[in-house]
Chain A
Amino acid sequence: MDMIDNLSLGFSVAFTFQNLLYAFVGCLLGTLIGVLPGIGPLATIAMLLPATYGLEPVSALIMLAGIYYGAQYGGSTTAILVNLPGESSSVVTVIDGYQMARKGRAGQALAAAGLGSFFAGCVGTLILAAFAPSLTEVALQFGAAEYFSLMVLGLIGAVVLASGSLLKALAMIVMGLLLGMVGTDINSGAARYTFDIPNLMDGLSFVAVAMGIFGYGEIISNLAKSDEEREVFTKSVNGIMPSMNDIKLMTPAVLRGTALGSALGILPGGGAVLSAFAAYTIEKKIKLKPGEVPFGEGNIRGVAAPESANNAGSQTSFIPLLTLGIPPNAVMALMVGAMSIHNIQPGPMVMTNNPDLFWGLIASMWIGNLMLVILNLPLIGIWIKLLSVPYRWLFPAIVMFCAIGVFSTNNSNFDIWMVAGFGVLGYFLIKLGCEPAPLMLGFILGPMMEENLRRAMLLSRGDWSTFVTRPISAGLLALAVLMLIVVLSPAISKKRQEAFVED
């Protein structure tokens, strides 16, 4: 069978003692840097890239895969422990992961994230090997109108994430979309909302916005409470490994997340990001078992599902990357940059011209994934210890790492100040009871949405009905409307009850 042949070719390239060592070192470095609060996967990979320059292409790719997984997992660790999502997909992991950590269940959250990711990575690798050639055609079915409708669906899904009012969540998404407009318009080259500041030409930096709104906002509002009142973490940590009950709860969540991630990852552009949000949304819709912790208060499914979806998604997102040449997210874009330094141009030709490299890459991603589990499960105990560092030492360190991390991505102090600006915004949003997660999703999808809307309308010559006459697009929009109705109906009845009580 082709798949077996291909995979064994890949492993024969990747599986040498030297390469395994590189994978291990990469994973270790990636985790160590990635776990620093405020330094997300993007900044970690950017900082560690030069370390791979001197290696041969295959070894370099394997080390990069190790760094990539290490950085991803290190990022999830900080997301869970200190409420700082380092990249867009961990925005949802934060919601329940941080609550678990506060309840002394950080170990279980980290283990769920690690094990779920590993399982999803394995499945993703198999799917990639089995279906890469045929799945390419599915991705090609998607036109601009379908993308736009898919993103509408994703954004409506994000509304479900917000625990508060539906209207406020929708408004936060639109505010995010608008913030995403800052910078040079790709179609016309016009500089929008830049106030003639050259640093704004490339748009607001995701890292700066996320650090400011999630990190600084949270720190300021934490410090506003007195030392006793500040319930950062409970001192008692209840074990590290998940209990049987946890495993029972998380297994179906991991399976659902993996399936969803594998499917969405194939869609070029943003599929992997959407998958984490979508997985969380689905878990939230599934009825709670008796005695289960509600979502938003530390449900293990809320960690396991998005983390698996994200990992499966980033694995299958290699398909659009290698067939259409579109990197699915910023981290992958950086990986593409690293590959081109080693003279590997991602594109349709890689699979046919350089099969050993292509399959070697797939195999090395799997090895990186494996290293992660071997390295990190024993380390969980150490990360938990970090939680016992008193907050008065932790918060200046977080502020410092954020500032250094954001500076290192662009070498510009303007970015540092941008974090400050968004920190102020983040604090006031917390004060006003507005959830920041939908805003971040809007911000990430804004530019993509605008581009696809423009392209779809150009193709339909200004006819808005293109979104409902194309079957796939119409189906996605119908799903979005359906979701809105489902979310709306209990909200209405709840409001009615409140009004009744007041009378």
Chain B
Amino acid sequence: MLVKSKRDFYSGLLFVVVGAAFALGAQEYELGKAARMGPGYFPTMQGILLVLLGLGVLVNSLRHGGVDGDPIGAIAWRPLCFIIGANVVFGALLVGVPALGIPAFGLIFSIYALVLIASMARPKSSPVESFVLATLLALLSYGAFVKLLNLQFPVWPQFLSM
């Protein structure tokens, strides 16, 4: 049997896997009974429901679909990696990760890192332009969040302020 809609096929697969994972995970918690439900009761119920719905989507994907088979299309790895990467690096640099020995670099430094990495998500980005944008955003954030709102961010790198 041929898959008529690839998008629906993989959606269904995702629902079945997620539902099964939650339902199986719920077995670690006390189930209880209908009159006195334990922490595992509702997630088990919903997990099974999601598996059933996912199976429904899967079956449907074999029967109906667009003329071209609803392809998922290429995954945009470049923006995916750089946007997510920029976020992860920002989180790590802002307050540091003691477990990995990364010190807190503070807000200003982290903003430069975030903007420079995120800008690379576009194929033809210019480093100079990104640097100017990072400077502008750093100034704006410093003024708004640190000076005006007085939020508690580490602003400068830990090792410099000591």
Contacts and interface: CB of A to CB of B under 8 A. Distances in A.
B44 to A, nearest CB: 10
A187 B39 contact: yes
A174 B35 contact: no
Contacts of B57: 165, 167-168, 171
Given A220-B79, A413-B94, A416-B88, 5 more contacts: A174-B46, A178-B46, A188-B38, A192-B43, A395-B118
A488 B91 CA distance: 45
Interface of B is mostly: helix
Interface string A178-202: 1001000101101011000000000
B53 A167 contact: yes
B83 A219 contact: yes
6 contacts: A174-B50, A178-B19, A413-B91, A413-B92, A432-B72, A495-B64
Q: How large is the interface on B (under 10, 10 to 19, 20 to 34, 35 or more residues)?
A: 35 or more
A8 B156 CA distance: 52
B3 interface: no
Interface of A: 33, 36, 47-48, 50, 165, 167-168, 170-171, 174-175, 177-178, 181, 185, 187-188, 190, 192-193, 216, 219-221, 223-224, 392-393, 395-397, 399-400, 402-404, 407-408, 411, 413-414, 416-417, 419-420, 423-424, 427-428, 431-434, 450, 453-454, 457-458, 460-462, 464, 495, 498-499
What 10 A-B pairs come out closest when comparing CB atoms?
A462-B35, A224-B76, A416-B91, A223-B79, A413-B91, A185-B39, A462-B34, A171-B53, A190-B39, A420-B87
Nearest to A395: B118
B133 to A, nearest CB: 6
Contacts of A188: 29-30, 38-39
Contacts of A404: 107, 141, 145
Contact of A47 (B19, B26, B29, B149): B149
A414 B53 CA distance: 32
A271 B67 CA distance: 42
A54 to B, nearest CB: 13
A412 B63 CA distance: 47
Interface string B61-83: 00010000010111110111001
A47 B122 contact: no
A477 to B, nearest CB: 17
Interface in B75-129: 75-76, 78-80, 83-84, 86-88, 90-92, 94-95, 97, 107, 111, 114-115, 118-119, 121-122, 125, 129
Contacts of B95: 413
B155 interface: no
Contacts of A461: 35
B161 interface: no
B78 to A, nearest CB: 8
Given A224-B79, A400-B141, A417-B88, A190 B151 contact: no
A216 B39 contact: no
